[in-house]
Structure 1
Amino acid sequence: MRVDVEGLRVDLAGSRVLHDAALTAADGEFVGLVGPNGSGKTTLLRSIYRALRPASGLVAVGGDDVWQLPAREAARRTAAVLQDDVPDFEFCVREVVELGRVPHLGRLERLRDDDREAVEEALATAGVSHLAERGVGTLSGGERQRVFVARALAQATPVIVLDEPTNHLDIRAQVELLELLRSLPVTVLAALHDLNLAAAYCDRVVVLAAGRVVADGPTDEVLTPELIGSVYGVAVHRGVNPLTGRLALSYAPAPGPATVAAPVTVERDTR
């Protein structure tokens, strides 16, 4: 399902933190949001999954303004995996994943057989079936993150939004999670700190700095040494990962502060 953001402005505590942001994620595309801390990645994602109402602009999922949709219908289209998600630690893993089925149930309706099947499949796909009866409070940060991914899978939405999904994961778990996300027949928007992970797994990247989108396009074309250097204030070398053949980036300190690059949009085929 397609996601369109146009002219998005967000104000927090009387200050504008997102300025006329725009992006498009085509059906089935994996789009990474990258940029320094405080650049607006989380704010943009929160507006997409209806956690933060923008001052102006449009967020459309499947062609419909998400803020005009009933909350239940919006939750059937977009699932979110958050970096600061804190469920009730009295819940067991299975109960947390079952919450993903709530948008598909009527008021006071109990889980049906197809809902239970969806939960079991999500547990298995996320690799947490063996944790199903464990209390969430007993899990490591990485294990909890995989549980939240399982909940999103159980929600069975055509769009998944993730805010720093690899933060608490070890290297193998990071790779496995991103491989899983790439394999899903859904549209994925993910805020990522690690540019090498973005380079390896994203079809396109949207670069933010100081609350503005400064670049948007195919990953290999956007993540240039000039763009990264101007946004992050580092020296950059582009290479190729010998194991995967994908883009690999190396960094070194650069003198002077980072400066915000002029907006760059790389032409792409959106058909």
Structure 2
Amino acid sequence: MEASKDISRLIEIMEALRQPETGCPWDIVQTFETIKLYTIEEAYEVADAIERKDMDDLCEELGDLLLQVVFHSRIAEEEGKFSFGDVVHAVTAKMIRRHPHVFAASDADTPETVKVQWDEIKAQEKRDRAMRRAAGGISEDFKAGFLGSVHRTQPALTEALKLQEQAARVGFDWSEPEPILDKIEEEIRELREAMAGGNPAKVKDELGDLIFALVNIGRHVKADPENALRGTNTKFRRRFRHIETSLAQSDETLEGATLERMEDLWQAAKAIEGQLGD
């Protein structure tokens, strides 16, 4: 079998990998649940390639993400649920339906009016979906209410941001950043108390409250918390790499270095960044 730009070849490859008798032993035993984390990981790798502005990597990572769509679709087809073609049909129908200003007739001619129209169409789709699910006996409890449109399956940091943005639409929000800083200090105190009490469940609960408050301050100061954290992760990688290379130049190892020695090198990395204006 040869590579091709035709999507049908990728579908054929996945079908071959999943063949019980002749396929790949690893691919054959996978389920929606076992590949779910790989799907999330591939989405993050796409974001990483975009952040690094690496177009070669972006092309490859988009392919990996597409493979996940084909993989899930193949499992669903084997179970008689839906096929890749159904996935394509659903998304093309959605795009046509949500863009009447392009594919039909609509007065929406600015980004703002298009956004209003998009939200109205989504709301109607949600009502229709809820009716279909209710008719089929599927519970919608976790999707009920004003916050029901915020998906629970996305990363917790993103979900927190979306929940806050949704609540803010009806005025349930701080009017300025300063009170949120007070809230963060309050959550830190409660986390300290929970840690002193030695109750792991309480510590976990208070840690979640603190992170939620930090997301909130990020939203108010227009600093996307996901991007902010990714920036810090990059900085941590860079500084830790400085520690590692500096130790190697002195014939030392990470395992053999003391915390004090590594902290000195960390501060040296910070100083270098400061000189470079980073």
TM-score normalised to structure 1 length: 0.27
Larger strand percent: 1
TM-score normalised to structure 2 length: 0.26
Higher relative contact order (CA 8 A, sep 6+): 1
Larger helix percent: 2
